[in-house]
């Protein structure tokens, strides 16, 4: 007799969706959605983005989903329009057998100048329970039809705005933790921010991306203590970067400072917050100026060269005569 081999039979195959390298991205980054069926091969895949519709949801197929036929759907240069919540499913065989829909995976893309701003008061990424939080969408072109949306632990996309205006006011509980963003009537998603609600220690950090060259200031807050008396340890991506100080200040932020930050005090540890760093507008202006300067210098060089050649030709002509 051979060794016994266990055989497990399931009426539905399980599909898992993951994101590499991470869910939070800056315009121009690369991201890959990876769809897998546990312990099985030979599948073809379909990809969807979830859009709220009334009290339900619409699973819209991605128009170029054929790019993810091998189980990996890659966006080589993400844009603001790629912000959203994604799912996948797999199928194979004749007759056709489909898996259940996968778990959801969001992509949150931050940009330099989104067409609409999500204004948050108080303006920080982490908040205490029972605090009041106000969120509103402000469009630079003064158009209407924007609403605040929320994606929480239950993966459901909730409409946070009222029927008459694009403003949301919440008396916070831990269940309000999630990502909030502005969505247009046509389904465009912009300006996602991660809001964390915690009952203990919180990290006071910017809710929107920080521009390169700016100053970044972090505080470690505990509700029953004034900020001036707080001394804490600050961490970035799990490593201690500053110890026993009341605040952490980075005077000139660079892309290397991007990452997950949190702090520790005797009362406890704060949740982690992702701090995104975007390129400064001055850099792009300088690069344009450099290009124009280089172009002008090349034109002057070419002009001088042509003039000298013409003069040389005339001199030779006069000498021949």
Domain with CATH 2.60.40.10 in the chain: 15-109, 112-199, 200-279
Residues near 278 by beta carbon (within 8 Å), at least 6 away in sequence = 26, 110, 111, 112, 209, 210, 211, 212
Quickly name the fold that domain 15-109 has.
Immunoglobulin-like (2.60.40)
Of the candidates 6, 71, 7, the residue with the CA atom closest to the CA atom of residue 37:
71
Classify 153 in phi/psi space as left (phi over 0), alpha (psi -120 to 50) or beta.
Answer: alpha
- pLDDT digits (tens), the chain, 321 positions: 999 998 876 666 788 999 999 898 888 889 999 999 987 788 999 999 987 666 667 888 988 877 777 899 999 999 888 888 899 999 888 878 888 889 999 998 887 667 788 899 999 999 999 899 999 888 776 666 788 888 876 656 777 765 556 678 889 999 899 999 888 877 778 888 989 999 889 999 999 889 899 999 999 998 876 655 678 999 999 999 999 888 899 999 998 998 999 999 988 999 999 898 887 764 443 333 344 444 555 555 566 565 566 565 666 555 555
Judge whether 242 and 233 are in contact, CB under 8 Å. Answer: yes
What do you get for the CA distance between the two ends of the chain, in Å?
112
Neighbours of 297 (CB within 10 A): 10
Q: Which CATH entry fits the domain spanning 112-199: 1.10.10.60, 3.90.110.10, 3.40.50.720, 2.60.40.10?
A: 2.60.40.10
Q: What letter would DSSP give residue 192? A: E
Instruction: Flag whether the pTM goes above 0.85.
Output: no
Predicted pLDDT of residue 10? 65
**What span, in angstroms and rounded, lies between the C-alpha atoms of 32 and 35?**
10
238 membership: H or E segment, kind and range: none
Question: Which residue(s) pair with 269 in the sheet?
Answer: 264
Q: What is the assigned CATH class of domain 200-279? A: mainly beta
CB atoms within 10 A of CB 170: 17
Strand partners, 90: 45
- In 3D space, the residue among 46, 42, 34, 16 whose CA is nearest the CA of residue 72 turns out to be 34
SS3 302: helix
């Amino acid at each position: 007799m051979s060794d016994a081999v266990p055989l497990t039979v399931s009426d539905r195959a399980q599909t898992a969706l993951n994101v590499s390298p991470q869910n939070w991205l800056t315009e121009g980054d690369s991201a890959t959605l990876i769809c897998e069926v546990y312990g099985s091969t030979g599948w073809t895949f379909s990809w969807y983005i979830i859009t709220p519709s009334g009290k339900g949801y619409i699973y819209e197929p991605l128009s170029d989903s054929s790019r993810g036929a091998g189980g990996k759907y890659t966006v080589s240069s993400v844009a603001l329009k790629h912000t959203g919540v994604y799912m996948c499913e797999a199928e194979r065989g004749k007759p056709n057998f489909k898996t259940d829909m996968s778990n959801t995976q969001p992509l949150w893309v931050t940009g330099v100048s989104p067409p609409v701003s999500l204004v948050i008061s108080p303006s920080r990424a982490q908040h205490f329970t029972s605090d009041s939080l106000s969120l509103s969408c402000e469009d630079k072109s003064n158009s209407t039809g924007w609403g605040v949306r929320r994606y929480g632990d239950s993966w459901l996309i909730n409409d946070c705005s009222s029927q008459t205006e694009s403003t949301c006011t919440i008396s916070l509980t831990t269940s309000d933790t999630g990502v909030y963003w502005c969505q247009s009537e046509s389904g465009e998603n912009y300006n996602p921010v991660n809001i964390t609600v915690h009952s203990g220690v919180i990290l006071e950090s910017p809710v929107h991306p920080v521009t390169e060259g700016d100053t970044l200031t972090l505080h470690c807050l505990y509700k029953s203590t004034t900020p001036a008396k707080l001394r804490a340890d600050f961490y970035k991506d799990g490593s201690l970067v500053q110890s026993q100080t009341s605040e952490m200040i980075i005077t000139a932020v660079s892309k290397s400072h991007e990452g997950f930050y949190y702090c520790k005090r005797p009362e406890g540890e704060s949740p982690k917050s992702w701090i995104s760093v975007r390129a400064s507008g001055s850099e792009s202006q300088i690069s344009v100026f450099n290009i124009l300067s280089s172009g002008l210098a090349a034109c002057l060089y070419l002009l001088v060269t042509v003039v000298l050649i013409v003069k040389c030709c005339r001199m030779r002509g006069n000498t021949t005569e």
